């Protein structure tokens, strides 16, 4: 007989609140929470970078007319770089998660995907730098503005994880400075403004990236907290429902649960054509016990008797409940008359063996019980309550016969003198 356990708090329920209160310094969770955050968002993140990557590739190819206008002398090379080198690799990287999404999620860590996005952005910046450094066009210097678009791609469109975005931005800025050093400017007055514009783009987009990731992490923590609270609430509700079926004094199931369980056992027995037994138990002269020893001792006595009864009925499906007052009841599925009588006698002996003094009993010097037994095939009676009435009638016969005994089904077991 499995009874509900005491309610226990969820061990991780307070963790998101602690992190929210303490903050997540350096844009990273501590311990395993970081890995959990990345893993929980991996599928959504993969879908996002795939779609935004495809759109960004179209924008990247849309700059071909700009190549023709600003670096027309190397347009064939720009066409080769964009269409012949960068695009095939980018399309392959986009097709892999599209065609083998589950494989990617299982075998490629989320941060590796971030690294691939970072490298793709750096390669796009390198393409621009190579085109402008190869051109002799007087307008090539304005090509550095295109690096701002690349920075926006990585930091705002693809929304690289913050520290990856920092590394990406530094790499793009290094490419910009390298191109400036390698290719003398036609107008040196543009060097500082272009460098300042790109630096401002880096700073502003990193600030926005930081704010977006901070909000994403906070939403994740709140979702964890909400999930933990819902789980905890569900667990508490289930345990409260279970506790509502338990008698607080004895720890046994209460009468409400017994009646529901008996009806279910009755229906199963009727469908299967099997036997079902009910035992009615009553503590002998319990009113006299309370009068002599007091109600607190009476409560302790009932609890001890209930524990002894439960210990005797351990088969799967057996159920013991407090029926009311000093009465208890047990349901024994698949138990014929002989097996039910043996179980009842085992219970009677176990209670007597407790050796709880009872000076007010006319049946014995210690606390004893009477047990009424009824066992029938379920299809032999009209209702489950009929079986309870038979067991109650047997209990009455046991009391009339002198108490401290088992009665039922025409059998009357008397303890040895």
DSSP letter assigned to residue 56: H
Q: What is the pLDDT of residue 367?
A: 95
Q: Listing from the earlier edge strand, what are the strands of the sheet with 275-283?
A: 319-324, 327-333, 275-283, 369-377, 406-408, 411-413
4 domain residue, yes or no: no
Give domain status of residue 250, yes or no. no
Structure tokens at 314: 């351990």
- The C-alpha torsion from 274 through 311 and 2 to 284, rounded to 10°, is 80
Cα gap 60→54, rounded to integer Å: 10
Identify whether residues 101 and 226 lie together within a single domain: yes
Token pair belonging to 14: 């307070």
Residue that finishes a domain, picked among 232, 267, 301 = 232
The whole-model pTM stands at 0.62
Burial of 22 (0-12, 13-18, 19+ CB in 10 A): exposed
Q: How far are the Cα atoms of 46, 147, 281, 301 from residue 357, in angstroms, in the given order?
A: 74, 94, 19, 10
Task: Note whether residue 277 is domain-resident.
Answer: yes
In angstroms, the CA 192 to CA 9 distance is 61
**203 and 266 both lie in a single domain:** no
Q: CA–CA separation, 149 vs 140, rounded Å?
A: 16
Instruction: Say yes or no: 187 and 278 in one domain.
Output: no
Per-residue pLDDT, 23: 62
Q: Encoding tokens for residue 307?
A: 């524990």
Asked if residue 127 is part of any domain, the answer here is yes
Considering the chain, what percentage of its residues have pLDDT values greater than 70?
90
Establish if 76 belongs to a structural domain: yes
Range of the domain at 220: 15-232
Contact, 273 vs 377, CB < 8 A?
yes
Cα–Cα distance, 163 to 25 (Å, whole number): 12
242 part of a folded domain: no
In 244-336, which ranges are continuous DSSP H helix?
Answer: 255-272, 286-293, 295-312
Distance of CA 227 to the CA centre of its chain: 8
CA dist 216 and 162 (Å) reads 12
Structure tokens at 288: 């006299």
Q: Which of 16, 385, 400 is nearest to 221 (CA)?
A: 16
Q: Is residue 297 part of a domain?
A: yes
Mark whether 278 and 333 lie in a shared domain. yes
Residue 9 within a domain:
no
How many domains, in total, are found in the chain?
A: 2
pLDDT in tens, the chain (417 residues): 545 444 444 444 455 666 655 667 788 888 788 999 999 999 999 999 999 999 999 999 999 999 998 888 999 999 999 999 999 999 999 999 999 999 999 999 999 999 999 999 999 999 999 998 898 888 888 888 899 999 999 999 999 999 999 999 999 999 999 988 887 766 678 888 889 999 999 999 999 999 999 999 999 988 988 888 888 888 888 887 777 788 889 989 999 999 999 999 999 998 888 899 999 999 999 999 999 999 999 999 999 999 999 999 988 999 999 998 999 999 999 999 999 999 999 999 999 999 999 998 888 999 999 999 999 887 667 788 889 999 999 999 999 999 999 998 633 344 433
pLDDT confidence of residue 186: 61
How far from 301 is each of 152, 355, 366, CA to CA, in Å?
A: 78, 11, 11
Same domain, 185 and 318: no
Asked whether residue 404 falls in the same domain as residue 340, the answer is yes
Do 83 and 146 belong together in one domain? yes
Instruction: Among 217, 232, 247, give the residue marking a domain's end.
Output: 232
In angstroms, how far is CA 397 from the centroid of its own chain? 54
**Looking at the structure, do residues 263 and 222 belong to the same domain, yes or no?**
no
**203 CB neighbour count, 10 Å cutoff:** 11
Average confidence score pLDDT of the chain: 88
Residue 213 shares a structural domain with residue 260: no
Asked if residue 53 and residue 196 are part of one domain, the reply reads yes
**CA–CA gap between residue 82 and residue 88 (Å, rounded):** 9
CATH code for the domain of 398: 3.30.70.270
Residues 31 and 180 in one domain: yes
Same domain, 156 and 276: no
Following CA atoms 176, 178, 184, 188 in sequence, which dihedral angle do they give, to the nearest 10 degrees? Answer: 50
Last residue of a domain, one of 200, 232, 264: 232
Long-range residue pairs from 255-264, CB within 8 A, at least 24 positions apart, any chain:
255/321, 255/322, 255/323, 255/324, 255/329, 257/321, 258/319, 258/321, 258/323, 258/329, 258/331, 261/319, 261/321, 261/331, 262/331, 262/384, 262/387, 262/388, 263/384
């Amino acid at each position: 007989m499995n009874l509900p356990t005491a309610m226990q708090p969820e061990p991780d329920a307070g963790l998101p609140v602690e992190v929210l209160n303490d903050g997540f310094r350096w844009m990273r969770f501590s311990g395993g929470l970081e890995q959990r955050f990345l893993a929980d968002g991996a599928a959504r993140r993969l879908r996002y970078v795939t779609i935004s990557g495809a759109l960004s590739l179209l924008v990247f190819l849309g700059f071909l007319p700009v190549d023709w206008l600003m670096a027309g002398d190397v347009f064939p090379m720009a066409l080769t770089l964009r269409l012949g080198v960068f695009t095939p690799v980018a399309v392959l990287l986009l097709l892999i998660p599209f065609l083998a999404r589950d494989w990617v999620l299982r075998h490629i860590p989320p941060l590796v995907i971030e690294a691939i996005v970072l490298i793709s952005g750096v390669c796009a910046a390198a393409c621009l730098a190579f085109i402008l450094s190869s051109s002799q066009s007087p307008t090539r210097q304005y090509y550095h503005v295109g690096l701002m678009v690349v920075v926006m791609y990585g930091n705002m469109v693809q929304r690289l994880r913050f520290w990856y975005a920092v590394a990406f931005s530094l790499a793009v800025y290094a490419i910009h400075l390298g191109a400036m050093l390698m290719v003398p400017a036609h107008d040196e007055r543009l060097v500082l403004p272009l460098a300042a514009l790109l630096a401002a783009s880096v700073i502003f987009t990193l600030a926005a990236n930081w704010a977006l990731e901070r909000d994403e992490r906070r939403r994740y923590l709140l979702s964890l907290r909400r999930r933990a609270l819902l789980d905890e609430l569900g667990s508490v509700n289930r345990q409260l429902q279970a506790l509502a079926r338990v008698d607080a004094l004895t720890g046994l199931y209460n009468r409400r649960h017994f009646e529901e369980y008996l009806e279910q056992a009755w229906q199963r027995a009727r469908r299967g054509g099997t036997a079902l037994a009910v035992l009615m138990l009553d503590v002998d002269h319990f009113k006299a016990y309370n009068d002599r020893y007091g109600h607190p001792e009476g409560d302790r006595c009932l609890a001890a008797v209930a524990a002894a009864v439960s210990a005797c009925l351990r088969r799967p499906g057996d159920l013991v409940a407090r029926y009311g007052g000093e009465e208890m009841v047990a349901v024994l599925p698949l138990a014929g008359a002989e097996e039910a009588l043996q179980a009842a006698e085992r219970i009677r002996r176990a209670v007597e063996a407790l050796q709880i003094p009872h000076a007010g009993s006319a049946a014995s010097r210690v606390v004893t019980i009477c047990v009424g037994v009824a066992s029938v095939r379920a299809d032999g009676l009209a209702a489950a309550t009929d079986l309870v009435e038979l067991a109650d009638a047997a209990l009455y016969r046991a009391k009339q016969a002198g108490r401290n005994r088992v009665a039922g089904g025409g059998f009357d077991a008397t303890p040895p003198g």
